[in-house]
């Protein structure tokens, strides 16, 4: 009887609120409402209630106290709007005192890696956001291997985390691994250029790549569609593994599934960024003012900025971090260990430096053989150490 | 979805976020979604002499038949000759949250004539779980989610003598408080009156302090003032005096778990009768995650550091740490 009442109440409230607020907000409030009703009336239900359903909340509390961190890398040629997009995404102004180099200075410029960190807090949740920028990428006349400093940087972060994780004091490990890389494709061409293909292929096994079509306000809707199809085809043709959205469970809500489908069909996102606020349709919005009209950044019919922001921050941030930890980092670690043990056996030294570039992935059979050989080598190494110790004792 | 940024909760936006909001608090929802999908794990060990009501208490705690006795087909009442370690797992679900609960029972503890070193098999078991987790962690091909079989919490049953802790209690708790979270409880507390109970608790607390036994919640692991406040309240009440029961009786028109005697019915969930409700709240509703965190970040790390140092001492006596911390294959003795 009580359950029936609750259910009908829920349906009523849901229909009232559905028009305005997000699913999660509705559910959160419904849950609060229902738990307060339950507290007042259901005494007999308490008997059946053990209470470990509060576990997610307990984990929740701890994470809120600790705060989160996220490292985002932006890569692409100069002038594609990377800094502006980052500012628009996180509503910050990270690049206030920037000095742009002129053409002569850029001829022989090497790619730098710069890091900006900003702490954002919203509704009690703290996020330490690190933006890794790559000024100079693709700017020189000869861009051979211009992605090398970037791959080295990513590997360095993996190596540092690997050392920390294998060390003795693991209390406060700083996680500087790059969780996501936004790659900016210029809209002026007809799809991917050779440097785009090579860059993405060098990085797709180390970091989650999300390709974006930048400065999309110079394209008409048809051109955008054609370019997206073209880029998608080329990505598939060249075998580039960009970040894939995880599949929805069958028991997820319909709205969520619909959103997910739309996201997948929209990649690569065509984005526009803006640092300025303009007046449009009586409201103040972020946008770009042209004589022929105003481009609104947050307008879904103008560009995919909102989709990108929702995907990056509101729905897939955690998944990006998970894929980095579970897939890219584990790959790196496996290669590292294998390289180390084979090198140790060769040199018979215990202090070899870790290599920065991992080997290509061997297949399953080879991996098994390598593992067997590794264990053999480890045993031999231990025997050698014991013999050394015995000799040392004999000498004394 | 374009105006999803405006939420009805009025907030003083900081100057940097001019209008709308970024939405980083949605990460909590993402984490929660993932946690619900994955489910949780909890491993609890019960230690005490036979007949102290261990199985009944675990059944009462989780409101279902999770103990060893409920799973055994025939009632084997014999006392085993040596301490056995029996672990039984169940998956229980509540409000969409799934938990794999493992109850580790230790029949035979303290039941022999000569009980020296009766904690050793238990210590070995706990260390073996740590070892197994460590091996999984240093594997080259790691699993995405290592199944956690480490003992998170050990409930120690103190018989209601009413005087003070016995030598076996002190020995056991002293050894094991260094490797696992120990929660001592006074079992079968319906034999003690309230004054006797308070006196007994005080004596136990003094004994624990005198022997420098650190039970959960440990003073040194309090993170901030808020935690300390909550934990001080708990520390003033431990050890909890509990009564377990899995039978229901009619009291004042309501059906309650309890023990019916000629002189009245002991209600298990009534806080004026016994402290079962406090124990349940501590273990499950408020501190479960904290217990798991202390196990994995403190006790497990201590074990790991010890293991890594054991196996990496070079011939000239200086410890050398391989970057991947691979230990030798021979398992050294882990007893303290």
CATH code at position A197: 3.40.50.300
Is the pLDDT reported for residue B61 higher than 70? Answer: yes
Domain map of chain B by residue range?
35-68+78-245+274-309
Residues of B in contact with A374 (CB under 8 A): 140
State the smallest CA–CA distance between residue A77 and chain B in angstroms. Answer: 26
Within a domain: A367: no
Per DSSP (E only), the strands in chain B are 40-47, 86-94, 97-105, 153-158, 181-186, 240-241, 248-251, 254-261, 264-267
Which of A143, A90, A135 has the alpha carbon at shortest distance from A111?
A: A135
Cβ neighbour number for residue B58 with a 10 Å cutoff: 25
State the smallest CA–CA distance between residue B81 and chain A in angstroms. Answer: 35
SS3 of residue A290 by DSSP: strand
Residues of B in contact with A330 (CB under 8 A): 142
Give the global pTM.
0.71
Within a domain: A238: yes
Phi–psi pair at A358, nearest 5 degrees: -75, 160
B249 in contact with chain A, both atoms CB, cutoff 8 A: no
Residues B253-259: what's their mean pLDDT?
Answer: 81
- At B319, is the pLDDT very low, low, confident or very high (cuts 50, 70, 90)? very low
Largest CA distance in chain B: 76
A377 in contact with chain B, both atoms CB, cutoff 8 A: no
Question: Among partner residues A21, A68, A313, which is closest to B22 by beta-carbon distance?
Answer: A313
Can you give the length of chain B in residues? Answer: 336
SS3 of residue B222 by DSSP: coil
Within a domain: A288: yes
Cβ contact, residue pair A318, B27, below 8 Å: yes
pLDDT at B77: 59
Give the domain range for residue A185. 59-95+106-246+253-341
What average pLDDT is seen over chain B?
78
Q: Which helix (H) or strand (E) holds B137?
A: helix B120-138
Which of A118, A146, A89, A103 has the alpha carbon at shortest distance from A286?
A: A89
State the smallest CA–CA distance between residue A299 and chain B in angstroms. Answer: 7
CA distances from A159 to A205, A218, A327, B142, B323 (A): 15, 41, 15, 17, 10
**How many CA atoms are closer than 13 Å to the CA of A333, on its beta-carbon side?**
25
Only one residue has tokens 């238990």, namely: B122
pLDDT tens digits, one per residue of B178-222: 889 999 999 888 888 888 888 999 999 888 888 888 888 887 777
Q: ipTM surpassing 0.85, yes or no?
A: no
Within a domain: A48: no
A55 in contact with chain B, both atoms CB, cutoff 8 A: yes
Can you give the length of chain A in residues? Answer: 396
Within a domain: A155: yes
d(CA A73, CA A207) in angstroms, rounded, equals: 10
Which of B280, B216, B207, B291 has the alpha carbon at shortest distance from B242?
A: B280
d(CA B109, CA B118) in angstroms, rounded, equals: 6
State the smallest CA–CA distance between residue A161 and chain B in angstroms. Answer: 11
Within a domain: A114: yes
- Determine the residue among A19, A52, A248 to mutate to test chain B binding: the one whose Cβ has the most chain B Cβ atoms within 10 Å: A52
Q: Answer whether the bond into residue B218 is a cis peptide, omega within 30°.
A: no
SS3 of residue B181 by DSSP: strand
B314 in contact with chain A, both atoms CB, cutoff 8 A: yes
Residues of B in contact with A21 (CB under 8 A): 7-8
Within a domain: A42: no
Positions of chain A with pLDDT lower than 70, given as ranges: 1-48, 93-110, 248-253, 347-370, 394-396
Q: What is the CATH number of domain B35-68+78-245+274-309?
A: 3.40.50.300
Within a domain: A317: yes
Which residue of A lies nearest to B255 if distances are taken between CA atoms?
A44
Cβ contact, residue pair A249, B1, below 8 Å: no
Question: Among partner residues B31, B94, B285, which is closest to A318 by beta-carbon distance?
Answer: B31
Strand A209-213 relative to strand A180-185, pairing: parallel
B220 in contact with chain A, both atoms CB, cutoff 8 A: no
Is the pLDDT reported for residue B311 higher than 70? Answer: yes
Residues A334-338: contacts with CB within 8 Å, 24+ apart? A334/B140, A334/B141, A335/A359, A335/A361, A336/A159, A336/A162, A336/B324, A337/A374, A337/B140, A337/B324, A338/A370, A338/A374, A338/B140
- Determine the residue among B8, B15, B28 to mutate to test chain A binding: the one whose Cβ has the most chain A Cβ atoms within 10 Å: B28
């Amino acid at each position: 009887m009580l359950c029936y009442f609750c259910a009908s109440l829920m349906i009523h409230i849901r229909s009232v609120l559905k028009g305005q607020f997000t699913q999660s907000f509705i559910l959160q409030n419904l849950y609060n409402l229902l738990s307060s009703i339950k507290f007042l009336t259901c005494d007999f239900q308490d008997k059946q209630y053990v209470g470990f359903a509060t576990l997610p909340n307990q984990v929740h509390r701890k994470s809120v106290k600790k705060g989160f961190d996220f490292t985002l890398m932006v890569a692409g040629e100069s002038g594609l709007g990377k800094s502006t997009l980052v500012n628009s995404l996180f509503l910050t102004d990270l690049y206030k005192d920037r000095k742009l180099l002129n053409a002569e200075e850029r001829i022989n410029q090497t790619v730098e890696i710069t890091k900006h960190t900003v702490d954002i807090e919203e509704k009690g949740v703290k996020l330490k956001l690190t933006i890794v920028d790559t000024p100079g990428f693709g700017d020189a006349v000869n861009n051979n291997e211009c992605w090398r400093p970037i791959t080295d940087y990513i590997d360095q972060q993996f190596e540092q985390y690997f050392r920390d994780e294998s060390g003795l004091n693991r209390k406060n490990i700083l996680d500087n691994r790059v969780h996501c890389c936004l790659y900016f494709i210029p809209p002026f061409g007809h799809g991917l250029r050779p440097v785009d293909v090579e860059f993405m292929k060098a990085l797709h096994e180390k970091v989650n790549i999300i390709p974006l079509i930048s400065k999309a306000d110079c394209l008409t809707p048809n051109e955008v569609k054609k370019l997206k199809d073209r880029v998608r085809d080329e990505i598939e043709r060249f075998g580039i593994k960009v970040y894939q959205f995880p599949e929805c469970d069958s028991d997820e809500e319909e709205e969520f599934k619909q959103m997910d489908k739309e996201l997948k069909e929209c990649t690569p996102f065509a984005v526009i960024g803006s640092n300025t606020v303009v007046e449009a349709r009586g409201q103040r919005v972020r946008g770009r003012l042209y004589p022929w009209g105003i481009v609104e950044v947050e307008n879904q019919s103008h560009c995919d900025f909102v989709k990108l922001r929702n995907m990056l921050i509101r729905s897939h941030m955690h998944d990006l971090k998970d894929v980095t930890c579970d897939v890219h980092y584990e790959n790196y670690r496996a290669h590292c260990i294998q390289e180390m043990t084979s090198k140790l056996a060769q040199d018979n030294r215990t202090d070899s430096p870790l290599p920065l570039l991992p080997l290509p992935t061997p297949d399953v059979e080879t991996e098994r053989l390598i593992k067997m050989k590794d264990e053999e080598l480890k045993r031999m190494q231990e025997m050698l150490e014991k013999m050394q110790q015995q000799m040392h004792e004999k000498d004394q | 979805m374009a105006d999803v940024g405006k939420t009805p909760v009025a907030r003083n936006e900081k100057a940097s976020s001019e209008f709308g909001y970024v939405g980083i608090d949605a990460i909590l929802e993402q984490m929660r979604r993932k946690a619900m999908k994955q489910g949780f794990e909890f491993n609890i060990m019960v230690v005490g002499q036979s007949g102290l009501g261990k199985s009944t208490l675990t059944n009462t705690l989780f409101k279902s038949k999770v103990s060893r006795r409920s799973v055994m087909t025939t009632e084997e009442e014999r006392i085993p000759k040596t301490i056995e370690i029996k672990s039984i797992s169940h998956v229980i679900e509540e409000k969409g949250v799934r938990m794999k609960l493992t109850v580790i029972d230790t029949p035979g503890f303290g039941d022999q004539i000569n009980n020296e070193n009766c904690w050793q098999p238990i210590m070995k078991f706990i260390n073996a779980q740590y070892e197994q987790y460590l091996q999984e962690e240093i594997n080259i091909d790691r699993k995405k989610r290592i199944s956690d079989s480490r003992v998170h919490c050990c409930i120690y049953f103190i018989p209601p003598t009413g005087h003070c802790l016995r030598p076996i209690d002190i020995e056991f708790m002293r050894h094991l408080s260094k490797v696992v979270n120990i929660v001592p409880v006074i079992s079968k507390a319906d034999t003690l009156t309230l004054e006797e109970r308070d006196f007994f608790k005080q004596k136990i607390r003094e004994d624990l302090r005198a022997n420098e036994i650190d039970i959960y919640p440990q003073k040194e692991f309090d993170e901030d003032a808020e935690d300390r406040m909550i934990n001080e309240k708990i520390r003033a009440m431990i050890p909890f005096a509990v009564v377990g029961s899995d039978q229901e009786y009619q009291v004042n028109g309501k059906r309650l778990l309890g023990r019916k005697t000629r002189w009245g019915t002991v209600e298990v969930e009534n806080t004026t009768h016994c402290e079962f409700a406090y124990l349940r709240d501590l273990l499950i509703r408020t501190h479960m995650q904290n217990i798991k965190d202390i196990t994995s970040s403190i006790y497990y790390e201590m074990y790991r550091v010890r293991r890594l140092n054991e196996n990496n001492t070079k011939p000239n006596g200086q410890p050398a740490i391989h970057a991947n911390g691979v230990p030798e294959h021979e398992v050294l003795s882990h007893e303290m």
